[in-house]
Amino acid sequence: MATVRRRLTPYLLLFPGAFWLIVFFVVPMYYMARLSLDSGTLETGFQFTWQWSNYGDALSLYKDPFIRAFEYAGAATVIALLIGYPLAYAIAFRGGRWKNAMLFAVIAPFFTTYLIRTIAWETILSDQSPVTSVLETVGLAPAGHVLATAGAVIAGITYNFLPFMVLPIYASLERIDPRLIEAGKDLYASSRATFVRVTLPLSAPGVIAGTLLTFIPAAGDYVNAFFLGGTNNKMIGNVIQGLYLTNRDYPAAAALSFVLMAVIMLIVFIYIRFAGSESLMGEEAVAR
Amino acid sequence: MEAGTAAAPAYVRRESALRRAWDWLREHAVNIFAALVIAYLLIPIAIIILFSFNDPAGKYNFTWVGFTFDHWKTVFSIPELNSALLTSLRLAALATLISTLIGTFMALALVRFEFFGRRTTNFLIVIPMATPEIVMGASLLSFFLILGTPTLGFSTLLIAHVMFCISFVVVVVRSRLIGFDRSLEEAAQDLGANALQTFWRVTFPLIFPGVLAAALLAFALSIDDFVVSNFNSGTTVTFPLYIFGAAQRGIPVEVNAVATILFSVTLIAMGFTVLQQRRAERMAAVRPQQEGADVMGTAPVPPAPGGAGG
């Protein structure tokens, strides 16, 4: 009797959470797939007719924002890696007594609302702001405009997802046994060689987790393009949001969401294969 | 040129000064760069706080005009903003309560038990965190649209928020449970505590900081959520949705004041969690011979002879 109870306990503990995730996460995916194959309009009502052409129609119509989303997300991920890695390195190895304060600075943006943070960038990059005039002097803002350009959207995305890059890299650098780095130096490796041959490879799991945690939300984002971009900077997220909530063209919107998810998963899969990640499962724990 | 012999050492000295400066720069390049990146992370926050004291000329709060406390005096005087804030707080409190409860159960099952279907469960927990928010929002909306029930509003928001909070709760509580010293529980049972007593008096106080951290994270995720809420709110307005709606006609300065208040409250809450965590670490460092001391509150087991019967 006791062993039966012991064997049932984990399932009882799991049940409420698993139920919630299956009913409100997994099952809705099926419903979205079904909706993407409906035909009809809002007036006539939607019927399920295996309307595969929804996919081709939506993709050919919204090819540009689709590609743009991946370009912007890719650019933001690369920039976040380039500026996030040195920061994570400084926190892990040079922080000293400032370490906690630096870590705090990395998560501080999360203490303010996402939308307000993005709108703060609208202020910083507005035409009258000192930042814009500096950028104009340097030649980075040709007509004195930064807002409504690809650069503004990419800067916003980079900013908003940078902590997701820094924290996993920091966590993996922090775990490195300092004796390995000392060993490299004892064996007469220059500090650059030690970094390239020892530190960098050992921080690879953090880099992989960080790039994924930045890229995935960035590709689906529409807030940055909404506030910082112009009509020529619409990403696929903006299109999906508009089709669902304004135009109510549900089948096209569902088809685009589905393709977005599929492409992201494909990229993630190829990337993990290519990068040879050992454990992605544990890495996201450090994300927030 | 006749001063050549005298100039030579000066030249050498100057070179070495330059060299020292260069070495210093090379040595500290990473730190300087890190400081710049930190400035990049903090400047928007400074802007948000600064612009809560702005006195904008028109309805758009984008350019600095002059310093005023006016909008702090009227911070809670916009009815729509107040009701959006209250909705957000109510939603976040409920979503936190539910997701923390069922997420903690899941974490306990995953760490404490070997069972069939573990891998699948792990997968089920990781996948929502790896899904873009827009896909979660869109699929839930499709689900509610096809079912036709429940009506989009507070209930659908609650369902959605609990859904995306669960995974994060599990991950945080699980990481706390993994470092758990189980000999403390065994000690309690050896001393005659039953399973329930052991859980409430030993296990729970020890994992409490992890549960608290998870609850705070869930609260922060819920109160800040825009994308999923945007899709599933119907006519209900939360704080981020209010900002989004107001953005088109100019965001009132009071929003910046509210954001500043939220920022400060989160700061305090985080400080409190850190203190709790430190306390738990001290508690976990207490060896069984000291059990029954005041760390547990009222002594759960008869204090050992000569022990600190608190």
pLDDT digits (tens, 9 = 90+) for A255-274: 999 999 999 999 988 888 87
In a domain, residue A227? The reply is: yes
Cβ neighbors of B112 (< 8 A, separation 6 or more) are A10, B177
Q: What pLDDT, on a 0 to 100 scale, did the predictor assign at position A181?
A: 85
**Average pLDDT value for chain B:** 84
CATH assignment at residue A249: 1.10.3720.10
- pLDDT of B250 > 60? The answer is yes
Half-sphere exposure of A46 (CA within 13 A, CB side): 22
What pTM, to 2 d.p., does this model score? 0.85
**Average pLDDT value for chain A:** 88
ipTM of this complex: 0.88
In a domain, residue A200? The reply is: yes
Domain that holds residue A273: 62-286
Nearest to B140 among A24, A227, A245 (CB): A24
What total number of domains does chain A contain? 1
Cβ <8 Å between A117 and B109: no
Q: What pLDDT, on a 0 to 100 scale, did the predictor assign at position A251?
A: 93
- pLDDT of B210 > 60? The answer is yes
Q: Does the beta carbon of A269 lie under 8 angstroms from any beta carbon of chain B?
A: no
Chain A, window 74-133: residues with a beta carbon less than 8 angstroms from a chain B beta carbon: 83-84, 86-87, 89-91, 94, 102, 105-106, 108-117, 119-124, 126, 128-129
Contact pairs from chain A to chain B, CB under 8 Å: 239
- pLDDT of B305 > 70? The answer is no
- Say which residue, A201 or A69, is predicted with more confidence: A69
Strand, coil or helix: A45: strand
Q: What pLDDT, on a 0 to 100 scale, did the predictor assign at position A261?
A: 93
Average pLDDT of A151-155? 95
Nearest to B134 among A111, A159, A220 (CB): A220
Nearest to B126 among A10, A122, A281 (CB): A281
- Interface probe with A: pick from B112, B143, B258, most Cβ of A within 10 Å: B143
Please report, for residues A69, A256, A266, the alpha-carbon distance to residue A259 in angstroms, rounded to integers and kept in the order given.
Answer: 13, 5, 10
In a domain, residue A14? The reply is: no
Q: Does the beta carbon of A52 lie under 8 angstroms from any beta carbon of chain B?
A: no
Cβ <8 Å between A240 and B227: no
Summarised one tens digit per residue, pLDDT across range B68-107 is 888 898 889 899 999 999 999 999 999 999 999 999 999 9
Cβ <8 Å between A17 and B166: yes
Residues of chain A with C-beta less than 8 angstroms from the C-beta of B122: 281
Cβ <8 Å between B230 and A245: yes
Cβ <8 Å between A217 and B160: no
Band of residue B267 on the pLDDT scale cut at 50, 70, 90:
confident
Q: What pLDDT, on a 0 to 100 scale, did the predictor assign at position B14?
A: 65
Average pLDDT of B139-155? 91
In a domain, residue A52? The reply is: no
In a domain, residue A171? The reply is: yes
- pLDDT of A161 > 90? The answer is yes
Average pLDDT of A1-9? 74
| B295 in Cβ contact with B191 (< 8 Å) | no
Cβ <8 Å between B48 and A117: yes
Residues of chain B with C-beta less than 8 angstroms from the C-beta of A121: 44
Cβ <8 Å between B44 and A254: no
Distance from CA of B230 to the nearest CA of A (A): 9
- Interface probe with B: pick from A113, A131, A157, A281, most Cβ of B within 10 Å: A113
DSSP string, A167-189: HHHHHHHHTS-HHHHHHHHHTT-
Average pLDDT of B60-66? 82
- Structural domains in chain B, CATH included, are 12-70 (no CATH), 79-251 (1.10.3720.10)
Average pLDDT of A280-286? 41
What is the separation of C-alpha A201 from the centre of its chain, rounded to a whole number of angstroms?
Answer: 23
Q: What pLDDT, on a 0 to 100 scale, did the predictor assign at position B297?
A: 36
In a domain, residue A45? The reply is: no
Summarised one tens digit per residue, pLDDT across range A92-135 is 998 888 888 899 899 889 888 999 999 999 989 988 888 888 88
- pLDDT of B137 > 60? The answer is yes
- pLDDT of B221 > 50? The answer is yes
| A226 in Cβ contact with B245 (< 8 Å) | no
Distance (Å, whole) CA B41 – CA A107: 9
Q: What pLDDT, on a 0 to 100 scale, did the predictor assign at position A269?
A: 87
Distance (Å, whole) CA B310 – CA B296: 9
- pLDDT of A287 > 50? The answer is no
Q: What pLDDT, on a 0 to 100 scale, did the predictor assign at position B196?
A: 86
Q: What pLDDT, on a 0 to 100 scale, did the predictor assign at position B12?
A: 58
DSSP string, chain B: -TTHHHHHHHHHHHHHHHHHHHHHHHHHHHHHHHHHHHHHHHHHHHHHHHGGGB--SSS---S---B-SHHHHTTT--HHHHHHHHHHHHHHHHHHHHHHHHHHHHHHHHHH---TTHHHHHHHHHHHHTS-HHHHHHHHHHHHHHH--SPSSHHHHHHHHHHHHHHHHHHHHHHHHHT--THHHHHHHHTT--HHHHIIIIIHHHHHHHHHHHHHHHHHHHHH--HHHHHH-TT---HHHHHHHHHTT---HHHHHHHHHHHHHHHHHHHHHHHHHHHHHHHHTS-GGGTTSGGGSS-SSPPPTTS---
Summarised one tens digit per residue, pLDDT across range B155-208 is 999 999 999 999 999 999 998 888 777 888 888 888 988 888 888 888 888 888
- Say which residue, A277 or B199, is predicted with more confidence: B199
Phi, psi of A248 (to 5 degrees): 55, 40
Q: What pLDDT, on a 0 to 100 scale, did the predictor assign at position B10?
A: 55
Window from A164-168, A250-254, A275-279 with minimum mean pLDDT: A275-279
Average pLDDT of A31-55? 86
Band of residue A281 on the pLDDT scale cut at 50, 70, 90:
very low
Summarised one tens digit per residue, pLDDT across range A196-220 is 888 888 899 899 999 999 999 999 9
Window from A171-180, A223-232, B57-66, B258-267 with minimum mean pLDDT: B57-66
In a domain, residue A21? The reply is: no
Nearest to B105 among A13, A105, A116 (CB): A13
